[in-house]
Amino acid sequence: MPQKDYVKAGRPKAKPASRRPSRANNKAAASSPAKPWLLIVITTLLASGFIYFLWFLNQQPTVNPVPAKAASQPTKTDELPVKPTTEPYQYITELENKEVTVEVAEQQQSAGPYQMQCGSFRVEQQAETMKAQIAFAGFASQVRRTEGNNGVWFRVVLGPYESKRKATADMNRLRQQNINTCRIWNWT
């Protein structure tokens, strides 16, 4: 197959424009002279209106502003009102000698120590990995093996804690170390 020379082939030549103008061009040429006169009239009206507006503003009387020092000085002296000799309100004297009794219900003390469980795994190696992460966070944990109806589980447990507040504080510190799986349980 012979090779084709694309460089010499060049682009196809454009068709020459017809010498006869189309009907659409004739209509546009006929209506175009009216538009510049309309534009000139509108521009002249807007310019004359703007000049009149400026002349009108110039004819207005000027208002002299009041100096700031004169406005800030009070016209009459400020005097405090006379202090009354007797107190108009009676509740002040009534409450001075009144004793208020409030019944406070005893808060229920938490029953027993708490523990925090941070994971429960089927494989002991995964539990040891979680224990190492907790150790890097600065806490001592234990891996407990439990057997239940659904098989053997290895639980990563922290505690026991004397109060739930201490367990919550440690759980928040573990969350700062991106260990977010811990839950607090009542250990009884």
Supply the CATH number for residue 150's domain. Answer: 3.30.70.1070
76 lies in a domain? no
pLDDT at 12 over 70: no
158 lies in a domain? yes
Question: What is the pLDDT averaged over residues 146-150?
Answer: 91
Q: For residue 167, how many other CB atoms are within 10 A of its CB?
A: 23
Residue 132, pLDDT score: 96
37 lies in a domain? no
pTM of the full structure:
0.43
The one-letter code for the residue type at 18 is S
pLDDT > 90: what percent of the chain? 44
Cα–Cα distance, 177 to 128 (Å, whole number): 17
161-181, pLDDT tens digit by residue?
Answer: 988 999 999 999 999 999 999
Please tell me the total count of domains within the chain.
Answer: 1
144 lies in a domain? yes
Cα–Cα distance, 143 to 153 (Å, whole number): 10
Q: Examine residue 160 and say whether the peptide bond preceding it is cis (omega within 30 degrees of 0).
A: yes
72-111, pLDDT tens digit by residue?
Answer: 555 667 888 888 787 777 777 778 778 888 888 886 666 6
Cα–Cα distance, 19 to 24 (Å, whole number): 14
Q: Domain containing 164: what range?
A: 114-186
140 lies in a domain? yes
**Phi–psi pair at 145, nearest 5 degrees:** -95, 125
pLDDT > 70: what percent of the chain? 75
33 lies in a domain? no
Cα–Cα distance, 3 to 33 (Å, whole number): 58
Which position has the token pair 């239940």? Answer: 148
- Write the DSSP symbol of residue 116: E
Residue 81, pLDDT score: 84
2 lies in a domain? no
Residue positions counted in the chain: 188
